[in-house]
Chains A and B, each alone.
Chain A
Amino acid sequence: MFALDKKDARLLLMVAVLTMLAPFILNPFPAGSEMAQFNAGYPDLMQRFVIFGIFAIGFNILFGLTGYLSFGHAAFLGVGSYSAVWMFKLLSMNVLPAIALSVVVAGLFSVVIGFISLRRSGIYFSILTLAFAQMSFALAYSVLTPITGGETGLQLALDDPRILDVAASATGNIPVPGLFGLEMRASTNLELGPWVFTFNVGYYFSALIMLAAFYLAIRIFRSPFGMMLRAIKSNQQRLNYTGLNARPYTLAAFVISGMYAGLAGGLMAAMDPLAGAERMFWTASGEVVLMTILGGAGTLIGPVLGAGFIKYMENIISKINESILHQWFYWLPDGLEDFVVAMIYPFIGKGWHLTLGLLFMAVVIFLPGGLVEGGQRIGRMFGRKKSEEKDKPSGKTTPAE
């Protein structure tokens, strides 16, 4: 199917089914129940799952395959967002040209940054990409204010030209991004007894794009080009003395991953048409590194898992507060209840960073292959005899420095 081998086709199909059914899968608890706060099936979060999935899939093409650790990929995400918002301001509220421009502009940016940064490898490469991204952030915040909106960010306005579209909607408001009349923010609810499931246009649009991006990544992984990228990570010296020029290979991987980041940035703007410099801040670059390593660098599905995991923690764990904990443990004797709540409290709410940090450390130390390796181990424990690791390239090797 789609020129993929059986295993890859099955993986793609599985991801497709999961994303299409996500509104059900992520909302297992009845609305209004005590557990409903663990429901992740609301449009905003589901959109973030797939958009950051795209970001991480692209990042993994660079980091997972070549081992070059970029610490500046958020710059491309930000550039993508700005490009899309400008398209909304100048051309029309259709998301397609906006996203196309995001990808192109991020691609051009990554050619320049990649060309310079790839003159070095290892930590120097990482520092160069970080420097570029922080420079972009600082410029976006200050001197580039006419283009980026500076501190307030870039927003739509009623007097934008929008030459192919209306400046204001019929009700006199700023129009919203859409696809030939289908508004991205439009949702329908399905109520089944106490359960409520939400189907959102923006989510399904982003999810389809993520599936395409995932499919492309599989093709790249299985191509001669992908094999060369893995060879670069394995032994660049041997590659050079085998008559191959590593530079254009790494640059191509860098630009492809930059374009993925731009696509993610464009989609973010398509879901919510504004862009701010903080999207380029170094913590955002670090986040995609965490996602990729947590999920399993160099594996196909790992980055998507990592992205979903981190976004879930960020949005769900962070919402648990002290009174919710007390509700959960009310059945304990008073003193013990307070003690248990006090023990758990540092790890929830704003403390989710602590939980994530500990989890990340545990994964790096005990599961160098990330969540994917964890899944494989559990799979093996239950006797599913699958020779997965043979075909999953470097799925069980340590993510490179």
Chain B
Amino acid sequence: MKPAISVILLTTLIGTGQGLFLAFYSAEWFVLLGILRPPLNDYSGHAAALSVLLLALGLVASFFHLGHPERAWRAAAMWRSSWLSREVIALPAAMLLILGYVLLKLSAMDSIVLVLGESIPISISTVVGFGAVLAICALFVCTAMIYACLKFLRQWHSPLTVLNFLLMGCASGFTLASALASYSQDGRFAYFVGMAIFLTLAALIFRFATLLRNKGLRSPSSLQSAIGVHHPTIRQIAQGAMGGSFNTRAFIHSYGASVVRLARRGFLVLGFVIPLLLLQISDESSTLICSLAFALQYLGLLAERWYFFIEAEHPQNLYYQMIS
């Protein structure tokens, strides 16, 4: 498949935004449970606002993919059958819930609604935040299933796709949280960095496993089954269009093997290995190192998503092997 830039931006931006919210919301619970020390000044409202901003940027990027963005509202109609439609519902839902959380945190309206086990005070924002977590999980699944549900794109049609989207989104979100925590001199820094390292490592393992899996994949389709002529030697001599067609422009990329190889190595190194090393050597005062780790990881994940498209082989390409 040919990489679609707007889709690459959409999936990576919202992945980071979702991960960022999960980082701060989970830290909030650890504080409530008395496992982590509360930060001196609570900036989780601002962090969540950054998360909404990332989701909004992703949404804006996605509009560039549409031929008729003004009709985008129609895309919520077929949620019973289409994962894309489900994503179109889950994304604004997550944004609204996180926004509600932000408003509650930043205004004076937040108040305690119940006390769990006599010592854990639960405020409205915690309840709304929990709703946001559910929407975020749904969004991760919907986004990844858009790709994983297409059964003849064999490189995508695997539970690994869902796992990878989840792990990479969370990893980049926690890395960003580490940078924010070190900037705010937040005592929860160690938690964020520890989780960022764990998630980046897990994401690396599963992404690598996916590369190995895809290496051995053979499509059941061939030129023989595509045109139904069962002869071992078939050569296309005309594809019915001389100046190319939508089928050649939207599906067939012209990047050479060396560029593709560079992208593969690049995303493994930039997206996973270097951030792991940087996070490993960082401490509470190394805002710069954590920010660098996040910036490189995000670049790496852009390359990863680009490669994700290049990796997928569409059976329609069998019909478009030669222009003449």
Specify whether A and B are partners.
no
